[in-house]
Amino acid sequence: MRTEKVDVLIIGAGLTGLTAAYYLKKYGKTVKVIEKNKAIGGVIQTHREDDFVFESGPNTGVLSTPEAAELLQEVKELCTPEIADETAKRRWVWKGKSWKELPSGLMGGITTPLFTVKDKFRILAEPFRKRGKNPDETLDHLVRRRMGKSFLEYAVDPFILGIYAGDPSYLVPRYALPKLYNLEQDYGSFIGGAIKKSKEPKTANEKKATKDVFSVKGGLDNLTDALAQKTGKKKIVLGNEHLRVAKTAGGYLAHYDGDKVEASHVVFTGGSHALHGIFDFIAEDDIKKVDNLLYAKVVQVALGFRQWNGRPLNAFGGLVPFREQRDVLGVLLPSAFLKNRAPQGGAMLSVFLGGVRRPHEAEKSDEELLEMTGKEVKFMMQMPDFNPDLVRIFRYRHAIPQYGKTSGERLKKITELEKKNPGLTLAGNMKDGIGMADRIKQGRQVAEKINGESTE
């Protein structure tokens, strides 16, 4: 049994953990990364089969933070960022028996068939409504109050299904959509706030957050692989499911695979459900207060077609409002806006099922899922027949955390545990957002905090 001494032990080799490891090494720190799975990347996994390239987990990210843009530039010699083409700016929403284009501006919101006439007048009057006073107001209440029922059902609900596979009546904007929440709190209006913010001068750093949809040429795993290379793959241990971390006088001691690691700092970057049984010094009751998250169960069905014979694929994808009572959450069209994801003339689709309001769908057999998917895709995409050349089904029991009313208690407990145990950081998607840009930002902030503590 050998004992290795490092500055920082990172638990989890997903995007958050690998980003933190990359920056810590850049700051001159020694690191060790321990991952329970047999591959790096966490939920980011790229698959390459028969001229098709497709993702399981996130399919794309959004350059919503300067940190994401900067990281992509820093590792571009190992992986090339790919900005989605103009097609990605179009989004479809299903209503009735066909796709409708989701409006992107005020005039589009007034002319679209998605909203009722009554709610179109509500949208025009939105800048004049009072601010909400309940910080834990759920998203459905907030949107009904400011924009109306049809806007909730045909704009916000599908948006939430696309991001969280969630339920607007559960999510609390203060935690789940803080930018939206702050528009009302800081400016008194969604529309007025968005207009005012667009006119405010931006720093050079803020301009890096272009809001462009991005991927990486050849697949997102090229990004996580680049971070692993920058960190040093020998510093990453894979396939360890029996990690235990104890507290010592000088920091922390981790046991794994018969070996030990001593570290002054420990960073946990997994899901809150994975906290149980790792830290000897944290009471189970405290772990339960951190693991108070509802996770959406999601199924992804990847479909590859060598020759596409359906409706033109000229959008990012289509989302299906819960009100429509269809069997799918939505269809993503990566080959429409990213290069080399399918053979010439073909198509690559990702269909999503399940979510917070239909968790039972994740328990269905592969045969049942494919039958449901085929029926919906054939009808929605106007296909004469449904004969995909590639089918792969991925199931996620803990797909996406839902930031609801319990988030305040969780964040308070995380702060309390970190204060009680100096050198411990509880990160990951249990806080600070679920998008790729959020994960990159958090990973970098963790590294900067640890570097700042060690140089004080």
**Alpha carbon distance 125, 192 (integer Å):** 11
Q: Which residues of 124-143 are buried (b: 16+ CB within 10 A; e: fewer)?
A: eebeeeeeeeeeebbbbbbb
| 3-state class (DSSP) for residue 304 | strand
Element (H or E) spanning 190, and its range?
Answer: helix 190-199
Partnered with residue 270 across adjacent β-strands are none
Residue 87 burial (CB < 10 Å; 0-12/13-18/19+)?
Answer: middle
List CB contacts of 174: < 8 A, sequence separation 6 or more.
Answer: 135, 136, 181, 407
Question: What residues have CB less than 8 Å from 207, skipping those under 6 apart?
Answer: none
Instruction: State the chain's mean pLDDT as an integer.
Output: 95
Say if residue 10's pLDDT is above 80. yes
Fold of 294-401: Polyamine Oxidase; Chain A, domain 2 (3.90.660)
State both tokens at 305: 């077609």
Of the chain, the percentage scoring pLDDT greater than 70 comes to 99
User: Could you tell me which CATH number the domain at 89-199 has?
Assistant: 1.10.3110.10
Q: pLDDT tens digits, residue range 371-410?
A: 999 999 999 999 999 999 999 999 999 999 999 999 999 9
- In whole angstroms, what is the distance from residue 79 CA to residue 71 CA? 11
Two structure tokens written together for 112: 């679209």
The predicted pLDDT at position 284 comes to 95
Task: Classify domain 3-42+62-83+226-292+406-455 at the CATH class level.
Answer: alpha beta
d(CA 247, CA 249): 7
Q: Is the pLDDT of residue 456 over 60?
A: no
- Note whether 315 and 92 are within 8 A (CB): yes
Domain with CATH 3.90.660.20 in the chain: 294-401
**Model pLDDT, residue 106:** 73
Residues 110, 124: Cα–Cα separation, whole Å: 8
Alpha-carbon distance 433 to 178, whole Å?
A: 9
**What integer pLDDT is reported at residue 170 of this predicted model?**
98
pLDDT for res 108? 82
pLDDT confidence of residue 250: 87
Span 298-318, average pLDDT: 97
68, pLDDT greater than 70: yes
pLDDT for 104 equals 82
CATH 3.50.50.60 maps onto the chain at 3-42+62-83+226-292+406-455
Instruction: Give tens-digit pLDDT for 249-301.
Output: 989 999 998 889 999 999 999 999 999 999 999 999 999 999 999 999 999 99
Q: Which residue has the higher pLDDT, 200 or 417?
A: 417
More reliable by pLDDT, 454 or 30 = 30
Amino acid at site 321: P
* pTM, rounded to two decimals: 0.96
- Dmax over CA atoms of the chain, in Å, equals 72
Q: Report the pLDDT averaged over residues 195-220.
A: 93
Question: Contact at 8 Å (CB) between 374 and 349?
Answer: no
Q: What is the pLDDT of residue 26?
A: 97
According to the model, what pLDDT value does residue 436 have?
Answer: 98
Q: What are phi and psi of 100, to 5 degrees?
A: -120, 145
Tokens of 330: 């939505």
**If you ran DSSP here, which 8-state letter would residue 128 be given?**
G
pLDDT at residue 455 in the model: 61
Beta bridge partners of 304: 348, 390
Q: What Rg do the C-alpha atoms of the chain give, in angstroms?
A: 23
Structure confidence at residue 454 (pLDDT): 65
Percentage above 90 pLDDT, the chain: 93
Residue 257 pLDDT:
84
What token pair was written down for 15? 């995007």
pLDDT reading at 238 higher than 80: yes
Least Cα distance to 237 among 27, 18, 17, 36 occurs for: 36
pLDDT tens for residues 36-47? 999 999 999 999
pLDDT recorded at residue 99: 98
